[in-house]
Structure 1
Amino acid sequence: MSIFKQLIKSLYSTKDMAKFRFQGIGKTILFVFLLSLISAIPSGLYMSTGLVNGINSLQTIFEDEIPSFTIENGTLSSALKEPFIRENDQFVFIIDSSGYTTVKNLQEYENALALIQDEVIIRTNNQSQTIDYQMFEGVLMNEEDVVQLIHTFESLMPIMLTVMMIIMYLVISFISFLQVAILAILGLILKNVLGLRLKYRHTWILAAYSMTIPTIFFTIMAALDIQVPYGGPLNWFVSTIVLYLALKEIPRPKQTR
């Protein structure tokens, strides 16, 4: 049975899941990578869309007059007495040398780029990243240099997106394998309660397939941009219940008199 058929079976049949315990570890590892890929799709799409929209919006914003500023010795300087803000439907650009704007102030924006007193804040899909100006120590930058930097970033964006998506996928895969390992340990406890003769490799395989339902559910919710309350505990609870039901489908060994 292919891993795609196993994926479908794992959504509704714990009896079939119980039969998977005899398959090789390699196939199960491939299945975990498949689940990780599925769960990474919404985040990857949101991230790429946010970056593309952000660059396009920046180009539109820079068509307006940008105030003069310099970044030197790790500090932003300008003649502005209040934050310069340009906003459209998808992106916000801010220059603020007053110290008023912070990461917390930007939480109301989904996508934003802010040049503030001592760092640049990049906010994409409600996630913030900061770059300290000290990284450019000894380099004098002004508004023309930033415009050129944006154009450079645009040309490198396909490569950067690819690298970011690969890193994100590897992180999600690591977390998935860690969850499988922990669930497999819980499976050892459950198999003792049920009186089953299973090894760790068997509970590890069943743990991997028990993650199918919560993975698909949370992927759909992420694609619809719906926040699920107590998502972490709910994920663990559902996976554990499915694992328990799969273990119950395994025949108990006959008692010898």
Structure 2
Amino acid sequence: MNIFKQLGKSLYSPKDIATFRFQGIGKTILYVFFLTLISLLPSFYYLSSGLINGINEVRDSIKNELPPFQIENGELQSEHEAPIILNKGKFTIIFDSTGTYDTDLLKNSDKTIAILKHDAYFIAGGQVQSLPYTMFSTIPLTNEDLLDLLATVDSSFAVIIPLMAVVIFIFASGMKFIEVSILALLGLFLKKILHRNLHYRHTWRLAAYSVTLPTIFFTIMDCLQTTVPNGVLINWFVANILLFLTIKEIPQPKK
């Protein structure tokens, strides 16, 4: 059975998932990578489109709406004495050289670029990217210098966006493998309850396919940009139920 058919079967059929316990571990690992890639497609899209639109908005705002400033010794310096928040349609730009803006507020924001006292933040597609000013050289950066830098970044998007996507994919794959491994350990507990003859290598394969349904569900929610309350609990609950039903489909060993 190819990987696409396995994906379809894993959405609704514990009986079919149970048959995957004997397949090669390489194919199961490939499936986890494939599932991770699918789950990240909405984030990749919103991140790339948000980055492109955000850079354009920031460039226009620096030219026309933000006060004169410079970045020197790792700090944003300006004579403006209060934070500035600009709502640009679906995008928000925050400028604060005073250090009074609470960065915890950024966790609940989306499509936002924040130019703060010590760092710049970019939030889009559920991803938060930060850029500390200490990464720049010791030479002060003014408005005009930053506009030139943004023009350079804009021309480098063909390289920057794929690199960011690769880094996010590697990190997300690691988290998915940890999720599957923990679920497989719970599978050992379930197999004792159900009196099934399984080893960890079997429950790991079953766990890899049991996470398919919640992963696809939350991918659809990401496409719709809809937040699901208690998403982590729902994810683990559905995956555990599906793993339980899968192990239950495995015949009991003959006495």
| Structure-to-structure mapping, 1:107-118, within 5 angstroms | 110-118=110-118
Letter in 1 for 2:182: I
Partner of residue 201, structure 1: 201
Secondary structure class of the residue paired with 1:131:
strand
Partner of residue 177, structure 1: 177
| Structure-to-structure mapping, 1:77-226, within 5 angstroms | 77-84=77-84, 86-104=86-104, 110-125=110-125, 127-136=127-136, 138-226=138-226
Letter in 2 for 1:209: Y
RMSD: 2.3
Per the TM alignment, residue 209 of structure 1 is displaced from its structure 2 partner at its CA by 0.9
Partner of residue 73, structure 1: 73
Per the TM alignment, residue 173 of structure 1 is displaced from its structure 2 partner at its CA by 1.1
Letter in 2 for 1:97: S
Structure 1 residues 107 and 175 mapped into 2: Cα distance closer, same or farther (>3 Å)?
A: closer
Once residues 65 and 180 of structure 2 are traced to their aligned partners in structure 1, the CA distance between those partners, rounded to angstroms, is 54
Q: 107-116 or 172-181: which moved more? A: 107-116
Per the TM alignment, residue 206 of structure 1 is displaced from its structure 2 partner at its CA by 0.9
Once residues 27 and 78 of structure 1 are traced to their aligned partners in structure 2, the CA distance between those partners, rounded to angstroms, is 56
Contact 1:54 1:90 in 2 (8 A): no
Q: 114-123 or 12-21: which moved more? A: 114-123
Contact 1:96 1:117 in 2 (8 A): yes
Stretches of structure 2 that go unaligned for 5 or more consecutive residues are none
Partner of residue 37, structure 1: 37
Structure 1 residues 220 and 101 mapped into 2: Cα distance closer, same or farther (>3 Å)?
A: same
Structure 1 residues 121 and 9 mapped into 2: Cα distance closer, same or farther (>3 Å)?
A: closer
Contact 2:114 2:121 in 1 (8 A): yes
Taking structure 2 as the reference length, what is the TM-score of the superposition?
Answer: 0.89
In the alignment of these two chains, the number of paired residues is: 255
Residue identity over aligned pairs, in percent, reads 47
Taking structure 1 as the reference length, what is the TM-score of the superposition?
Answer: 0.89
Stretches of structure 1 that go unaligned for 5 or more consecutive residues are none
Per the TM alignment, residue 182 of structure 1 is displaced from its structure 2 partner at its CA by 1.3
Letter in 2 for 1:229: P
